[in-house]
Structure 1
Amino acid sequence: MPFTFLPDTSVIYNRKIIDFIQDSTLAEYQPIELDHVTEVPKITIILSRVMLAEVENQANQTKPQENVGLEVLQELYALMKQKKIHIETFGKRPTLEQIKLNPGGELDALIRKDAFDAKAILVTADEVQSSIALVQGIDVLFTMNLPENQKEQSAESDEAGIEEFFDDHTMSVHLRGHCLPMAKRGKPGEWKLEPITSEPMEPFSIAEIANRIIRTAKNDEQSFIERNEAGVTVIQLRKYRIVICRPPFSNSYEITAVKPLVQLSLEDYHLPQKIYDRLEIAEGILVAGNPGAGKSTFIAALSRYYLEKNKLVKTLESVRDLDVPPEVSQYAPLNGSLEQTSDIILLIRPDFTIFDEVRVESDFKIFADMRLAGIGLVGVVHASRPVDAVQRFIRRVELGVIPNIIDTIIFIDAGQVAEVLCLEMTVKKPSGFTDKDLSRPVIEVRNFLTNELYYEIYAFGSDVIVAPVGSKKRSNKRRIKESYPPLSGSKNGKSKYYGADDMIPCEIYRRKKAYVISVDPSLSNQYVNFYANGNLIFSATLNKQGEIYIRNNSPVFSKIVSTLKKRRDLFASLE
């Protein structure tokens, strides 16, 4: 003989009440004490007005679960129309005072009271609700008592809503209302956006998939909702990172799902032994690269490498989407703050923490604070060049501590380790400076494998200069060659020394905001005349390096440009 059942809010939102009706769980259920339940000719679902008020409130507040609750109520009504169940409502709507007391469990208490008064079996997925109801003498059908394999099958069937759009070569899927479903396929550095089908998707179809994803994330122990706000929901559904956008945040329903394509080990990158040795001692590593370059895959390989070295590894992620081994704990923002999470990590003291990703102002301060506290850090940043990863720290942390928090930069391009740089602090005269009195602290950025100097970072007045040197420097002489064809007498486009034998030779080259005319340094602070084709162009006093700067806004600037274009000789004279 069937009985009456009263579902609470938890089994409405996880759809278990529908599953129980369809798989005959309710029909076959045997209560513990028959005296406290009501036998009826047909399965009767009693809807508490407290539960209905909660569903209505969620819907009015445009919560992401709103469609789930309303959809389940509509399905219950459809089952009643099919004469599979009977539905009744029971109890009173909660008062304003009771709603205010809800954080303490007041509404749950009202639902238990309705179940007791109606002599119904309480159906719940809330462990606290179940335990208290049993103490109060209420018969309970608790969903956690279900066999584990039944839960897994339900999760897998729901997950197929997004999984069916993926294949072995698909990194991400992009679904949008009234548009073709698109997939990004290929490999790092060679991605192509391709249509999945030839038919556009309707917004209601995408909304249905979104609801199934949310339901699965709430019920699956390996999935979780990372961010849940009006208009957007971020979900980690097992291996899929999913972003669901809705109006008013988006002008249409939209789903973006991303999954890792491959799982590599560090050996798959064929790195020189010198880099392995560096990874053994490096404690402030930045992994940089463009979006989709393969940073997350490399980070996952690096985490496995450190685990093999018996290191304790944790991750600090805004969205926990790294494909790391189960031995690696993945931490999310605590109370919405990564700073609070970093406080916990300081107590745990792991050997290495992977920070994915360092992006906003507070992230850089957290990175610096944890490094100075002695924790090994691997930070992930978006950057189009290796040096850009360092530049993102400039002004956010003091220049002098940058080498103490960053010692190695690994740049990923097209899924491979394209370049490895190292940072060191020294005191010297920056390249290009002639006065020894201008020595200062300089951060040298070198190629780790060749030790070639690429960049120098130093303070110049109130500015911080990132100056390319060595093979990374684009010479000013080359700029002259690109702007104008080589003048007669020059070799290979190099700057020419202008003038006759009885005149003072001078060299002219271009800088960003000026032309520089260089004469003999022994003539520093001398007043000289400059001639072209026998005509006086201008007169000026040389600086202590024997040079004169002609800025772009100078009246003489146009004369210099005209002289170069007409391929005329330029020389200097003291007369």
Structure 2
Amino acid sequence: MDNSNDLRVVPDTSVVIDGRISEKIRSGEYAGAKIFVPEAVVAEIEAQANRGLEIGYKGLEELQAIQDLAREGEVDVSFVGIRPGPDEVKLAKGGEIDALIRSVGEELDAKFVTGDRIQAEVARARGMNVEYLKPSLFEVTPLKIEDFFTDDTMSVHLKNGVVPMAKRGSIGNVEFVPVRETPCTYGELHYISRELSERARSDNESFIELSASGASVLQIRDMRIAISSPPFSDDIEITAVRPVASVRLEEYRLSEQLKERVLMQRGVLIAGPPGAGKSTFAAGLANYLHENGYVVKTMESPRDLQVPTEITQYAPLEGDMANTADVLLLVRPDYTIYDEVRKTHDFEIFGDMRLAGVGMVGVVHANRAVDAIQRLIGRVELGIIPQVVDTVVFIDKGEVAKVQVLEFTVKVPSGMTEADLARPVIVISDFESGVVEYEIYTFGEQVVVMPVSEVSGKPTWKLAENEIRSVMERYVDGRVEVEIISDSKAVVKVAEFEIPQVIGKGGSTIDKIEKQLGIGIDVRELSGKPDKKGERSRSSSSELRPVVEQTKRHLILDVPELATRDVEILIGQDYLFTATVSRHGEVKIRKNSHVAADILDAIEAGEAIVVKSV
């Protein structure tokens, strides 16, 4: 042990954050030494603290501890070197700040102390006196947060000023209960937060998954910890989640047919609400695949699936799962467990890997099995959904509640009878019974996920009515009424004067509409039509004179008093048409229509335009 007053030490940022310098001073190894702290180290720690990172606060605490030891006469401390400028900060990842720190050690001919292996190797290459402090091995001691856990505790929720709460029980029967009567204090949570961060850095089986301003996600062995603080959250909060069960696939009582199905390198979605046991089932499935000789990898953020060491768990490479997928496509696993698939980017990566021939299992939040499939719509091309996902396993309260399978075919959708209405259809069936439960196909411009009745085989037509009405409103200005009268025909009612433009020359327009919608259309006159004299029966409500405005494409009748109401438009006493006033109080008429021309001619002739509530 060198206790000479000539011992000069220059620490880098890594050993300051780890608290190793004060530890060596207290042990006597650096007693009487001169500690030269580079300003670049202070700047780096200050920047981390300003970003709300725990390592920044830890570094500041260590600097204060060294100063306390200096005041006690244990060491001599001084701050030396230059503070990094904007250029060095921009090039920090390239090693510019590390170079500034090393330069202090070189100039002072001091012992350069670092916990960064690359920094140590570079310093040795430059001929410096280097002391490399490897991460210390320590005996794993209980953490304070573990005092809140019991054997049946799934998660612990701590917040400043709030009574500690925990979710306890089995997966099928979870209760949210208080742990104690006294609320958490800021000092208590601050201590727990620092202890957790220190354990994540020092334990080889733990790691920091995410560190941002006001938020950290840690994986400490089998516990996933989320720490939030201002400005990200309104107050400091710690949530710790721990698996309460490690279940083998055999315990789920799955049929042999389903087990054989997943061994065929399928595309599988494991769906269910939060806390239903999706990840537990995914881990059991991963173990089952591994035991059957498959090469299995996982893609997780955070990496908290409980799988054997033979199954490698991958995090987002450089913050992006797409980079992880690129690596995995070179590794070529038989199956990849993707936990969890949530955003559009995740579904795209999942689909890309599945189409590359990799068996995929994705974990998805959903309240029903079919909801998981609907999340693919718009994110994966409709025609290839069954190639990406062909099996959905729905988990509820720790049990397999439903299994659905997807098949792609060309057929007439259930409820339609005309042969020329055949189209590509994705059929969703119950795996055990084989009963068709849903069909997915295009209807007009919409993608329809239509439930199929077990009794009649006919879908609900409410969505179809809305779609027909939406299409017809492009061809008429007035009100449109739609009624589905059979599986292959609908009745559409419009004002009498608008029927010709719906039919079109030689029926060309209605043929186009029927082809677009895939259903026959019977066009009829809207009730309350004009009589032979051209007058319409009217209510005794008061008359309003609209403000008439013109735009490039529309003639607008402004009657805010009748917003959202059905009205009749008249020229003098002669009925013109019926319409629905918008919520902004406007009736819009296409400028190139006959109705608009009649209104403009009437205005020019000095006739009154009247709007009456129906």
TM interval, shorter chain, is 0.7 to 0.9
Q: What 5-or-longer segments of structure 1 have no aligned partner?
A: 28-40, 480-512, 526-542, 557-575
Query: Residues 446, 95 of structure 1: CA spacing in aligned structure 2 closer, same or farther, 3 A cutoff?
Result: closer
Alignment partner, residue 370 of structure 1: 353
Aligned residue in 1 for 2:42? 52
Q: 1:347 aligns with which of 317, 330, 347?
A: 330
Match of 2:304 among 299, 302, 321: 321
After superposition, residues 123-202 of structure 1 pair within 5 angstroms as 123-144=113-134, 151-153=137-139, 156-157=140-141, 160-202=143-185
Secondary structure, in 3 states, of the residue corresponding to 1:185?
strand
Change (3 A) 1:548 1:301: same
1:281 is paired with a residue whose SS is coil
Change (3 A) 1:429 1:15: same
Q: Helix, strand or coil: the match of 2:148?
A: coil
TM-score by length of structure 1 reads 0.76
- Residue 427 of structure 1: how far off its partner (Å): 1.9
Percentage identity across paired residues of the two chains: 43
Between 94-103 and 188-197, report the one with greater CA deviation: 94-103
Equivalent position to 1:448, from 408, 431, 434: 431
* Contact 2:3-2:28 within 8 A present in 1 as well: no
**Do 2:490 and 2:522's aligned partners in 1 also have CA atoms closer than 8 Å?**
no
- The match for 1:483 is none
Tell me how far 1:524 sits from its aligned partner.
12
Residues in 2 aligned to 1:186 and 1:554: alpha-carbon distance in whole angstroms: 62
Residues 330/212 of structure 1: CA separation in 2 closer, same or farther (3 Å cut): same
Q: C-alpha displacement at 1:474, in angstroms?
A: 10
Q: Is the 8 A contact 1:454 1:472 kept in 2?
A: no
Distance 1:20 1:268, change over 3 A: farther
Q: CA RMSD in A?
A: 3.3
Contact 1:203 1:252 in 2 (8 A): no
Q: Is this contact kept in 2: 1:282–1:407, CA < 8 A? A: no
1:286-435 pair list within 5 angstroms? 286-435=269-418
Q: Give the C-alpha shift of residue 169 in structure 1.
A: 0.8
Distance 1:63 1:244 in 2: 11
Shift of 1:51: 2.3
Partner Cα distance (2:356, 2:70) in 1: 63
Equivalents in 2 of 1:292, 1:345: separation in Å? 29
Partner in structure 2 of residue 89 of structure 1: 78
How much does 1:120 deviate? Answer: 4.1
1:17 aligned to 2:18?
Answer: no
* Residue identity matched to 1:2: N
CA distance in 1 between counterparts of 2:442 and 2:459 reads 22
1 CA distance for matches of 2:19 and 2:390? Answer: 52
Shift of 1:135: 4.7
Q: How far has the Cα of 1:19 moved from its partner? A: 3.3
Task: Provide the C-alpha distance between the structure 1 equivalents of 2:386 and 2:459, rounded to a whole number of angstroms.
Answer: 29
Q: How big is each residue's C-alpha offset from its partner over 1:419-443, in whole Å with a ceiling of 9 and x where there is no partner?
A: 1111111222211112222122221
Higher RCO structure (Cα 8 Å, ≥6 apart): 1
Q: Aligned in 2, Cα 1:314/1:16: closer, same or farther, shift over 3 Å?
A: same
> Residues 70 and 77 of structure 2 are in contact (CA less than 8 Å); yes or no, is this contact kept in structure 1?
no
Q: Distance in 2 between matches of 1:351 and 1:296?
A: 19
1:91 aligned partner, one-letter code: V
- 2:425 is matched by which residue type in structure 1? V
Q: What's the counterpart of residue 122 of structure 1?
A: 112
In structure 2, relative to structure 1, the CA distance for the partners of 1:103 and 1:431 (3 Å cut) is closer
Provide the residue aligned with 2:199 in structure 1. Answer: 216
Query: Does structure 1 residue 62 correspond to structure 2 residue 52?
Result: yes
SS at match of 2:230: coil
Distance of 2:36 and 2:522 partners within structure 1: 92
**Helix, strand or coil at the partner of 1:235:** strand
Structure 1 contact 90–114 (Cα < 8 Å) conserved: no
Report SS of the residue matched to 1:412: strand
Q: Displacement of 1:382 after TM fit?
A: 0.5
Contact 1:50 1:92 in 2 (8 A): yes
Q: Which runs of 5+ in 2 are unaligned?
A: 463-480, 492-513, 530-614
SS of equivalent residue, structure 1 residue 321: coil
Q: Distance in 2 between matches of 1:472 and 1:116?
A: 85
How far 1:25 sits from its partner (Å)? 6.6
Work out which of the residue numbers 236, 254, 258 in structure 1 matches 2:237: 254
Separation in 2, partners of 1:206, 1:434 = 66
User: SS where residue 138 of structure 2 aligns?
Assistant: helix
- In structure 1, what is the Cα distance between the partners aligned to 2:65 and 2:145? 22
| Aligned partner of residue 263 in structure 1, secondary structure | coil
> How many aligned positions are there?
479
